[in-house]
Amino acid sequence: MRQTALILITLLAISTSLPALAAWKLDDSSSQLSFMSVKKETIAENHSFTKLSGNIDEHAQVNISVDLASVDTNIAIRDDRMKNFVFETSKYSAASFTTALDKSLLKSLKVGQEKKLSISGTVAFHGQQQPVTIDVNVVKLSADKILVNTIKPFFIQADAFGVVAGINKLKELASLPSINYVVPVSFSVVFTR
């Protein structure tokens, strides 16, 4: 009887600690990553990607992947040109962001509570990796759902990722005098477990 009670207590302890260790999965249907382009020096346009994936593992390692072929600029020919000439999706199908969070954050955050963070991580895009620091707001929406969104955009420099030639090709094809090489990026992503 004592051994059975000990087994039950052990199982109960394990089962109550599992949610804290469980991985969080990015909910693509509730998440968005967008970027802005500026052409002709004064015309700004918003664009997005429709397919994101990712997780936060039990060690608080964050991985977010962007399917570059899912670019949506609201103009089909421009989407195709971006895939072919800028992103070169036949060679580089995805971009990613990785970082590590403080393990205690997800455990200590209470439902309805939000926390502002400055997180440092790595963007991998077009065969290059660059460090980036992003200011985010983390909100625990429920026991099994968190929202992470940028407080302000972060910037991708085209020359750091080797895509200037692709942008120049877009300029040529669209007969544009300029397209900015600095791209502001923002996101709002939901993770569930």
- Give the residue from 24, 73, 12 showing the smallest Cα distance to 45: 73
Per-residue pLDDT band at 105 (split at 50, 70, 90): confident
Give the position of tokens 């759902």. Answer: 145
Beta bridge partners of 133: 120
Give the position of tokens 């502002």. Answer: 116
The pLDDT, as a whole number, for residue 63 is 96
The pLDDT, as a whole number, for residue 22 is 65
Domains and CATH numbers, the chain: 21-192 (2.40.128.110)
| CB count in 10 Å sphere of residue 71 | 21
Res. 72: pLDDT tops 50: yes
